[in-house]
């Protein structure tokens, strides 16, 4: 259900080792909102006896992890990592990449979203050498991929969440989820790097 990178496992075990009373500890992972582009998760060290009867329990790699059933749905296939950036360090929960059909998107919603991208979004981000393409539409969920200066850019998540998502939701309120399927690790020429 949930995978921890080696670095995340090491840091959780390190934090658990700082406990004062030597009680057995576990990690609680809770999905607590956010947007489809940037879901929010909370990780908290808890005592073993804090497990509720509804909690699912899993092995995180040397420690126990408690997840409530609702959070478990959002965490299916996600990865927990510990990242260090210029402005700080911390745990990051990366949801799994959604699967796209591979076929060019068609239909009324696809035409509407493509028009927003062509007329509003791409002219603005072209100045930064970037481009966003619609790669799939599944019912009322859309899947976009960034390229050029956007692929691998540290600001891409903010651009998508605060700019592109807002424009799309204003023009197409029927959209229920916006997914970024970009492989940002493969970006070679981001406009802004930390």
Q: How far apart are CA 40 and CA 90, in angstroms?
A: 13
CB 117 within 8 A of CB 133: yes
Nearest to 81, CA basis, from 162, 137, 4: 4
Mean pLDDT of 95-117: 81
- The CATH code belonging to domain 2-94 is 2.60.300.12
Mean pLDDT of 91-108: 76
Q: How confident is the model at residue 85 (pLDDT cuts 50, 70, 90)?
A: confident
Measured at the CA of 117, the angle between CA 112 and CA 121, to 5 degrees, comes to: 140
> Residue 98 CB: number of other CB atoms within 10 A?
15
SS3 102: coil
- Segment 114-140, tens digit of pLDDT: 999 999 888 887 877 788 889 889 888
**Strongest mean pLDDT among 9-13, 28-32, 37-41, 94-98:** 9-13
CB 24 within 8 A of CB 48: yes
Read off the pTM. 0.55
Strand extents, DSSP E, 36-124: 39-47, 56-59, 64-67, 78-85, 88-94
% of the chain surpassing 90 pLDDT: 21
Q: How confident is the model at residue 183 (pLDDT cuts 50, 70, 90)?
A: low
Q: How far apart are CA 125 and CA 95, in angstroms?
A: 25
pLDDT of residue 31: 82
- Segment 152-179, tens digit of pLDDT: 666 666 666 778 888 888 889 999 988 8
> Residue 99 CB: number of other CB atoms within 10 A?
11
Q: Would you kindly state where each structural domain of the chain is located, as residue ranges?
A: 2-94, 108-186
Q: How confident is the model at residue 94 (pLDDT cuts 50, 70, 90)?
A: confident
Structure tokens at 110: 């696809």
Fold exhibited by the domain 108-186? GMP Synthetase; Chain A, domain 3 (3.30.300)
pLDDT of residue 188: 58
């Amino acid at each position: 259900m949930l995978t921890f990178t080696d670095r995340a496992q090491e840091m959780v075990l390190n934090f658990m080792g700082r406990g004062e009373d030597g009680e057995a500890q576990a990690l609680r992972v809770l999905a607590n909102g956010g947007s489809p582009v940037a879901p929010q998760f909370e990780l908290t060290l808890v005592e073993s006896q804090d497990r509720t009867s509804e909690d699912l329990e899993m092995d995180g790699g040397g420690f126990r992890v408690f997840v409530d059933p609702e959070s478990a749905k959002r965490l299916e296939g996600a990865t927990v990592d510990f990242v260090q950036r210029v402005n700080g360090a911390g745990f990051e929960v990366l949801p799994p990449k959604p699967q796209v059909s591979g076929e060019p998107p068609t239909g009324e919603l696809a035409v509407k979203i493509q028009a927003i991208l062509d007329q509003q979004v791409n002219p603005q981000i072209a100045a930064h050498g970037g481009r966003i393409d619609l790669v799939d539409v599944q019912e009322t969920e859309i899947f976009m991929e960034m390229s050029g200066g956007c692929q691998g850019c540290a600001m891409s998540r903010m651009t998508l969440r605060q700019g592109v998502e807002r424009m799309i939701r204003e023009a197409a309120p029927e959209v229920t989820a916006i997914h970024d399927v970009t492989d940002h690790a493969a970006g070679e020429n981001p406009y802004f790097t930390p």
